[in-house]
């Protein structure tokens, strides 16, 4: 709703503003990084030793995991740190609205939160409280929006991460088969390491849904 006084200096472009601003939180991001670090520790330290059953598969899985981690790390950092495509304010807001009204244009593309003129492909994120070009959604696992600048890096990260979890699952299966077939008196750690890895995979798996 637009309310104008006779001199066009007192304007209200909306009926109300949010009672409380929602802010970004780094805790989900930090938790995800911690769980991923624990996964790498268990996988590369705890489960590295057993390779009696299908040793060639064991070696190929670990080589593949190194490549995937090499893709996961930089693409994740880019998705987290890049500006997703936030629109910058280029005009004085009162002048912008006055100009639109004088020309008889509608105000559908005016964002009253950022006080800017939006593009047709942008959307306002209620968490970051900014308009983002080609906005997809706000992802808590990167504590950032997905937009025109970082969406492609997030997709590469996501695909690499799914493949990484698949490699871990195959290695857990191979590891347990190795323990059951080739060790008549397995140690407790031979069961604890893969169990811990499975628990960590389950905890960190929801990232593939964002």
Q: 53-101: per-residue pLDDT in tens? A: 788 888 899 999 999 999 999 999 999 999 888 877 776 666 666 666 6
Pair 194, 148 in one domain? yes
- How far from chain centre, in Å, is Cα 162? 13
For the record, the structure tokens of 58 come out as 């064991």
**Better pLDDT: 7 or 64:** 64
> How high does pLDDT run on average in the chain?
77
Evaluate whether residue 14 is within a structural domain: no
Q: Is the per-residue pLDDT at 6 higher than 60?
A: no
**pLDDT of res. 12:** 38
Pair 79, 113 in one domain? no
Pair 64, 111 in one domain? no
Average pLDDT over residues 5-31: 53
Q: How far apart are CA 53 and CA 61, in angstroms?
A: 13
**40 flagged as catalytic:** no
Pair 102, 76 in one domain? no
pLDDT tens per residue across span 26-60: 787 888 888 899 999 988 888 777 777 788 888 89
Catalytic choice (128, 139, 145, 163)? 139
Contact 150, 139 (CB under 8 A): no
User: What pTM value is reported for the model?
Assistant: 0.76
Pair 67, 163 in one domain? yes
**pLDDT of res. 17:** 43
83 burial type by CB count under 10 A (0-12 exposed, 13-18 middle, 19+ buried): middle
**pLDDT of res. 93:** 60
Evaluate whether residue 8 is within a structural domain: no
Range of the domain at 120: 86-133
Query: How many angstroms separate the Cα of 133 from the Cα of each of 22, 24, 119, 127, 148?
Result: 20, 18, 7, 15, 6
Pair 156, 207 in one domain? yes
| Count of domains forming the chain | 2
Q: How far apart are CA 24 and CA 126, in angstroms?
A: 10
Pair 210, 154 in one domain? yes
Evaluate whether residue 210 is within a structural domain: yes
Pair 121, 150 in one domain? no
């Amino acid at each position: 709703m637009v309310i104008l006084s006779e001199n066009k200096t007192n304007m209200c472009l909306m009926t109300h503003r949010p009672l409380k601003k929602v802010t970004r939180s780094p805790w989900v991001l930090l938790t995800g990084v911690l769980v991923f670090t624990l996964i790498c520790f268990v996988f590369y330290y705890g489960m590295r030793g057993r390779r009696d059953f299908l040793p060639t598969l064991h070696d190929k899985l670990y080589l593949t995991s190194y490549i995937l981690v090499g893709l996961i790390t930089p693409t994740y950092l880019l998705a987290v740190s890049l500006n997703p495509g936030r629109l910058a304010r280029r005009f004085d807001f009162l002048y912008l609205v006055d100009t639109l009204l004088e020309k008889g244009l509608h105000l559908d593309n005016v964002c009253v939160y950022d006080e800017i003129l939006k593009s047709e492909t942008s959307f306002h994120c209620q968490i970051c409280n900014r308009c983002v070009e080609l906005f997809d959604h706000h992802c808590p696992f990167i504590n950032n929006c997905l937009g025109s600048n970082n969406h492609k890096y997030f997709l590469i990260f996501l695909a690499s991460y799914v493949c990484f979890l698949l490699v871990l699952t195959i290695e857990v299966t191979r590891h347990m088969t190795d323990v059951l077939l080739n060790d008549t008196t397995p140690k407790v750690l031979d069961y604890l390491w893969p169990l811990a890895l499975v628990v960590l995979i389950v905890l960190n798996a929801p990232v593939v849904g964002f």
